[in-house]
Amino acid sequence: MLTPRRASDRGHTELGWLESHHTFSFASYHDSAHMGFRDLRVINEDFVQPAKGFGTHGHRDMEIVTWVLDGVLEHKDSMGNGSLIRPGEVQRMTAGTGVTHSEHNHSETEVVHFLQIWILPESTGLEPSYEQLRVPDSERLNTLRLLASRTGEQGSVTVHQDVAIFGAVLEAGQGVSYEPASGRHVWVQLTRGAVTVAGESLQGSDGAAISGESLIELRADERAELLLFDLR
Looking at residue 215, its pLDDT comes to 97
Statement to judge: residues 154 and 124 lie in one domain: no
Looking at residue 21, its pLDDT comes to 98
Report how far apart the first and last C-alpha atoms of the chain are (Å, whole number). Answer: 16
* pLDDT block averages, 10 residues each, the chain of length 232: 98 98 97 98 98 97 98 97 97 98 98 98 98 96 98 97 98 98 98 96 98 97 98 98
Looking at residue 213, its pLDDT comes to 96
The whole domain housing 83 covers 11-134
Query: Distance between CA atoms of 148 and 66, rounded to whole angstroms?
Result: 11
Can you give the CATH number for the domain in which 26 is found? 2.60.120.10
Looking at residue 48, its pLDDT comes to 98
Statement to judge: residues 120 and 21 lie in one domain: yes
Looking at residue 219, its pLDDT comes to 98
SS3 content of the chain, % helix, strand, coil (to 5): 5, 60, 40
Whether residue 5 is contained in a domain is answered as no
Please give the model's pTM, rounded to 2 decimal places. Answer: 0.97
Closest CA to 44 of 18, 83, 70: 18
